[in-house]
């Protein structure tokens, strides 16, 4: 009787373990350095090889937007660019999340 109960429990448990969704495999792009990469420290964008997703990354993946090319403004001086929210090269801060 014990063996029958044990075998039933094992089969039942195995059926649930196989029913879980397999993780999605995204094709990873090669890393391309941007203005965020400094002094040999690389900032890997989502989808690039070497990137490790965080909770913030998973949240932003749901609300992605098309990035525009950077257009210099009066804020860009002496070769230093100030990237606006939504421009390529911009890194979001806490202030961006309140937008």
Residue 80 belongs to some domain of the structure? yes
Report residue 60 as tokens. 């932003």
**Average pLDDT of the segment spanning 28-32:** 83
Distance CA 67, CA 87 (A): 5
Among 16-30, 47-61, 80-94, which stretch is predicted with the lowest mean pLDDT?
16-30
| 99 and 70 fall within a common domain | yes
Distance CA 70, CA 84 (A): 8
Q: How many domains does the chain have?
A: 2
| 57 and 71 fall within a common domain | no
Domain span at 44 = 27-62
Residue 32 belongs to some domain of the structure? yes
| 95 and 72 fall within a common domain | yes
| 57 and 39 fall within a common domain | yes
| 57 and 37 fall within a common domain | yes
CB-side neighbour CA atoms (13 Å) of 40? 0
| 54 and 76 fall within a common domain | no
Position 43 scores a pLDDT of 82
Q: Quickly tell me which residue has 């965080």 as its tokens.
A: 54
**Average pLDDT of the segment spanning 40-69:** 75
């Amino acid at each position: 009787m014990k063996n029958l109960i044990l075998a039933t429990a094992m089969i039942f448990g195995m059926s649930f373990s196989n029913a879980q969704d397999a993780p999605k495999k995204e094709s990873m792009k090669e890393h391309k350095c941007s203005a965020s990469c400094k002094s040999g420290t690389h900032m890997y964008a989502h989808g690039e090889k070497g990137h490790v997703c965080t909770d913030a990354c998973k949240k932003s993946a749901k609300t992605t937007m098309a990035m525009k090319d950077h257009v210099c403004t009066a804020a860009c001086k002496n070769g230093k660019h100030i990237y606006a929210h939504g421009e390529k090269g911009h890194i979001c801060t806490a202030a961006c999340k309140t937008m």
